[in-house]
Chain A
Amino acid sequence: MADKQLVADSAVLLEVYKRAALLKANDERARKVILSGQIAMVYYSYRGQEIIPSVMGEVLRDDDTICTIYRGIHDMLGKGFPLRELWAELAGRTTGSCKGKGGPMHLTYPAKGVMVTTGIVGSSAPIANGLAWAAQLDGSDRVSICTFGDGASNIGAVHEAMNLAAVWKLPTIFVCQNNLFAEHTKFEKMTGGQNIAARADGYGIPGVRVDGNDPEAMYSAFAEAVARARAGEGPTLLECMTFRFFGHNFGDDDSYIPKEQKAAAMEADPVPRLRARLIADGVATEAELAAVEAEIEARIDDAVEHALASPWPEPDDLRFDVFAKEIAA
């Protein structure tokens, strides 16, 4: 097995918390900014799912790639997507990572390996395989991550991709974030077998169900999958159990989520839980973590201000980036 540690020690947990605190604060700010009318956007809150990408960010390198989905800003921030480019893109400005042409569902930042964000359920998986194939061809040990939800586990593209990754022994890691709701529909109502990880058996690849809200369990499972992929041992399917605190898209009627279930999940909010534990274990003090959080708020303030002060694109920009060469005026 590769040399990367498979157990999260307290130093790792502190770093995971710092990332999770950023993700949580960024989601809270996004909802606030929408409600205040400062930015109008389609927004898919990931609040409650922060531990998964925070752990991934600790394990991955910049040259590892990720293909994520419309509910994926946590994945991107976990991977190191810079806040200014993120917020300017959310605001639709030219200083956004995609010059305002992609928006929240198509955020891209190759310098940190954020290669594709798709608005089509399940479509991250087939493309992640191509990035994994390129790693093989390059003779690199970098890995290719695709994230998707429990709903996407029922679309054909994901199955085609898992089979191809198996037969080509690709360094693709399929990270299913099972938040128990596919849009408005309960996981147990529309998923045969009720165990996504078990489907890996059908492709002859390892499938692991893990508590995605438990940083240590998540770390061990993910680090092992990455080590396997880096060592040329092929893909892994991880089913990371979690919960989405809010509706499918921000502003929807989320009455389909049972009140008691939601209350219990929020009571067990994994981010403050990790925070309390770090303090209890003496890894960090209240004051130290408060300082980390204050710095995060300041960075988000800066990014939002930068975004709102940035110029809008011009209509003529439509001629550019359709093809490599601009379309004639």
Chain B
Amino acid sequence: MSATAEKAAKPKVTIIEAIAKAYHDAFADDPKVITLGEDLADPEGGGIAKITKGLSTSFGDDRVRSTPISEQAIMGAAIGASLAGYKPVAEIMLMNFTTVAMDMIVNHAAKLRFMSGGQTSVPIVIRTMTGLGFGSGGQHCDYLEAWFAHTPGIKVCAASTPEDAYGLLRAAIEDPDPVIFIENLPTYRVPMAFELPASDHRVPLGKAAVQREGSDVTVVSYARMAVQARAAAEQATAEGISVEVVDLRTIAPWDRETVLASARKTGRVIVVHEAVKEHGAGAEIAAVINEELFGGLKKPVKRLGGAFSAVPYSRPLENAYAPDADRILAAIKDIVS
């Protein structure tokens, strides 16, 4: 196969390209959009994932700022600028590093609108990367979305396709409330068969996507686990089981209507996330399905999630830690049996 033919046969776009385009388009459309974080500006290389490469050159050092390694200062600066009418996108490089800025995020970003009686608001986006698969151990790849979903005043979203990554980030930047935008590192550079969206593409926050329709079982997921769920659904279909895949896209506030409609249809639900299963987002989803549809389900809601341990280093342990397509498929077979 020629190089050109090979290229044409390949899927078209990566999530990282979509995020970079969303960033660039948002900066071009609205002069109030600004960004800050460690290494973000061009002299520092445009960020560790190069997502902001070119941004400071195109839009200036005032709007695109590299920072010291000071997560509290980063979050505070984003919050303060947003109070004055700007729309800052703050990159907290890895999700585990949000822990050092939790006071700023939870006590301030989330609560200032309420505590001020609506006089002020904090329309910031916190972009942060995470996800296991690189053997980075216990402090570099946690999924901590449940902490933020448990905090009134913050929205939490995560994309599993390039189109959704673009549309969600644009919507998050335009949203009047603080949004945590979680990016999955292992699927960042995986080319996927999607178009790079046009600049008017938006994915409304709080709206799930039914990525595959089915009638026997519903798999509710997000981020990398949605990619795994799609693969498992493909395999299940080949084995005669009809699987509906719902990608939440926004974890808080989540789309109850879409999830409940699917659960009503199939009567069997599996919720999957990479985060620790205990007290995870899946528990809330399972509880609401139980409250709303008790008696109408064919099986109890099943939850798959990360093990109750720190993310381990050693490859066999890391492989054992989180669900994957095989384990989702096994759960699908179990719930329809």
Contacts and interface: CB of A to CB of B under 8 A. Distances in A.
Chain A interface category by residue count: 35 or more
Interface residues on B, range: 35 or more
B105 to A, nearest CB: 11
B116 A106 contact: yes
A67 interface: yes
B119 interface: yes
Interface in A98-153: 98-102, 106, 108-110, 115-116, 118-120, 123, 125-138, 144
B75 interface: yes
A130 B70 contact: no
Given A108-B120, A123-B107, A160-B73, A321 B114 contact: yes
B70 A135 contact: no
Contact of B108 (A97, A123, A134, A144): A123
Nearest to B175: A324
Nearest to A89: B117
A125 B108 CA distance: 12
B80 A126 contact: yes
Contacts, number: 152
B67 interface: yes
Given A126-B75, A160-B68, A131 B80 contact: yes
A179 B119 CA distance: 31
Interface of B: 34, 62-63, 65, 67-68, 70, 72-73, 75-86, 88, 103-104, 107-108, 112-121, 152-153, 155, 176-177
Interface of A: 65, 67, 96-102, 106, 108-110, 115-116, 118-120, 123, 125-138, 144, 156-157, 160-161, 163-164, 167-168, 320-324
Given A123-B104, A320-B118, A324-B177, 20 more contacts: A97-B116, A98-B119, A99-B118, A102-B115, A102-B116, A110-B83, A110-B119, A115-B83, A120-B103, A126-B77, A129-B77, A133-B65, A134-B86, A157-B76, A164-B67, A164-B68, A167-B68, A321-B114, A323-B113, A324-B176
19 contacts: A65-B84, A97-B116, A97-B119, A98-B116, A110-B83, A110-B119, A116-B80, A116-B108, A123-B108, A128-B76, A130-B81, A131-B84, A134-B86, A157-B72, A157-B73, A160-B68, A160-B76, A320-B118, A322-B113
